Amino acid sequence: MIFIITGVSGSGKSTIGSLLSKKTNLPFFDADDFHPKANVEKMTQGIPLDDHDRMPWLNTLSDKIAEWENSGGAILACSALKESYRQILQSIPGIVWVHLKGEKPLLEERLQNRKNHYMNPGLLTSQLETWEDPDYGFHLDVSNTPEELVNEILNHMESLNAPSHFGIIGMGVMGKSLALNMAEKGVPVAVYNRYVSGKEEKIASGFAEANSGFPLLKGFDDINDFLSNLESPRKILLMIPAGTAIDTQIEQLLPLLNQGDILIDGGNSFFEDSNRRSEYLEKKGINFIPMGVSGGEEGARKGPSIMPGGEIKSYELISPYLKKIAAKDKLGKACLTYVGPQGSGHFIKMVHNSIEYGEMQAIAETVHLMRYGLKLNPLEIAKVLREWQHEGLKSYLLEITADILEVKENNGFLVDMILDEAAQKGTGGWSLKTAIQNHVPYSALSEAVTARQLSAKKKERSELAKLYNHRFRAFADDKVLILEHLKNAYALTRIINHENGFNLMKEVSDNFQWKLDFSEIARIWTNGCIIRSTLMEELVQLFQNTDQILQDKNIIHRAKEWKSDLTYIVGLGLQHDFALPVMSAATNYLLGKIIDDSSANIIQAQRDYFGAHTYIRKDDPDKKPRHTDWITYKK
């Protein structure tokens, strides 16, 4: 076994390496001893080494590592400041990387007290600036004593041979990212992927081998070997596509599981399916956790927002591991919470995605108006969006949209080369179906789903555009004034999108008696997830006082102020042939929600006229249903 202990000067590489050598009986080597004479002279004079200086030294060390591995192993202390240096040293698989890290004042003090060493203490600043923090290996804080650090390393090595604490089935993008996240955070994790001849062969074992810098990661291509490696009760996270694949995988696992084992569905399953699976597995003695995970590939790797449901006792068994890998809110608390019974975790993830649909469409409409109504180029639009980020509208989606608009390709912009056909998965449609079933008005977010469906009809749209001679018409109004209207219109649309989503959560929570905590849900959505924003941070506090967004006094003040901006922008856009489905729906939803005397009296009269469905009179305190013989009454 080869240990490589990295870190800047003064972090204690040699001290730790020497102590570890005594504990393991592996020979210890200091990389500084392999520097050529010219490098030593430079460092003695306080002159930093450059990459040209380091290359011969690194290549020598790489050769030595291969020799030491053949002779039984070794411990090497080496600064290895850059990832490119570490890649050169990675001449064999299975190296155990130990990264020592400490605060600059502590490192400076150690260097000042060090005697008979050629390294000039003045080089510390340049080393800290050069250091590239690795996302693998074992990270140690050097403020602890050398003995404590060596014990941590030895305990870490013991865990490599122990059963894995967590298992993940499904090595797609999300499954791989979560596995690396766990292994990096100190969780021994085993991974498995199905075997399909000619298509999916040695996926899990190949993934573990390709990531040998994560010694807590083990890959298995046989399901029995995978399950045998897991400690009891086994905690197995399914990261496979929603639908029949989940049911099929559960049926394959059931004969191999023991009572008390925990199955976690981390995909985007429909919550009603999760409710059914919860009841089914409970009868089998298997604990089931339907769990939403948001953040995409980057979030899964660096820290997602995690939304587990199911039985709380099962949640308590897995929560210590989930806390390690979850994103952190602004107070440092994990973006993780126990949502509630049954499929409630998948339910709120579904609603999260629905709000995400609405936000993406609202931003797309906003950018479209800037591009073709105001005739701004992508760089100018990106600049506006970045300004909005600092004017109370900060969000992840707004940020990445600005990034997208700034990417150039040859003499143009990459975004202009992307076909305008938006794809979608099932969560948006499921949300709309759920809203209809629970009689919840959902117009703004349902229009986001419809907009994607229309976009998919590219051929038909192109044909009709020619038949109708459709052209966007530029705005003649003052550009600065329109941008101010547009900013406020987008801000209000964003509020209404969130109100739609949380309103659906409230209705379903009441119907299922889940008792969802909306403040806590908003909190775990302040980081790690796709819809994180300053608005979400505001909702954490808002939901501590009310469960209705539009009844909050601060929201009321802004909605009153921005309502005219939203109606102006929608009117302006429609007059100039822009489709604004989400902004238009948000306008109608808000007006329909705050109006006292609506047009529904006409509808009730019509229903009674043709179907005798009855109506209620305003002046009847008993609210008694009435029917009028309209034809006779007319005569």
CB-CB contact of 583 with 568 (8 Å): no
Q: What is the pLDDT of residue 531?
A: 97
Which of 480, 237, 216 minimizes the C-alpha distance to 370?
A: 480
40-48 average pLDDT score: 81
| 3-class DSSP state of 288 | strand
What is the rounded CA–CA span in Å between residue 370 and residue 483?
8
Which one is predicted more confidently, 362 or 72? Answer: 362
User: Could you list the active site residues?
Assistant: 349, 356
Q: Which of 121-135, 494-508, 564-578, 584-598 has the lowest mean pLDDT?
A: 121-135
Compute the 3-state secondary structure of the chain and give helix, strand, coil in percent, each to the nearest 5: 55, 10, 35
Mean pLDDT of the chain: 92
Predicted model pTM: 0.79
458-470 average pLDDT score: 95
CB-CB contact of 420 with 458 (8 Å): yes
Q: What is the pLDDT of residue 622?
A: 94
Burial 182-214 (b: 16+ CB within 10 A, else e): bbbbebbbbbbbbeeeeeeeebbbebbeebbbb
Q: Furthest-apart CA pair in the chain: how many Å?
A: 114
Q: Assign 301 a pLDDT band (cuts: 50, 70, 90).
A: very high
Q: Is the pLDDT of residue 174 over 60?
A: yes
597-603 average pLDDT score: 95
438-443 average pLDDT score: 94
Q: What is the pLDDT of residue 497?
A: 97
Encode 369-417 in three state secondary structure.
Answer: HHHHHCCCCHHHHHHHHHHHHCCCCCEHHHHHHHHHHCCEECCEEHHHH
Q: Assign 135 a pLDDT band (cuts: 50, 70, 90).
A: confident
Measured CA angle at 32 (ends 28, 35), to 5 deg: 125
Task: Tell me how long the chain is.
Answer: 635
Q: Using a pLDDT cut of 70, give the percent of the chain over it.
A: 97
Q: What is the pLDDT of residue 160?
A: 66
Q: What is the pLDDT of residue 196?
A: 83
15: left (phi over 0), alpha (psi -120 to 50) or beta: alpha
Domains and CATH numbers, the chain: 2-157 (3.40.50.300), 164-342 (3.40.50.720), 349-594 (1.10.1040.10), 600-634 (1.20.5.320)
Q: What is the pLDDT of residue 213?
A: 73
What is the rounded CA–CA span in Å between residue 35 and residue 105?
27
Q: What is the pLDDT of residue 121?
A: 58
Question: What separation, in Å, do the N-terminal and C-terminal C-alpha atoms of the chain show?
Answer: 100
Q: Assign 125 a pLDDT band (cuts: 50, 70, 90).
A: confident
CB-CB contact of 370 with 486 (8 Å): yes
Residue 520 tokens, joined? 């806590």
The per-residue pLDDT for range 361-388, each reduced to its tens digit, is: 999 999 999 999 999 999 999 999 999 9
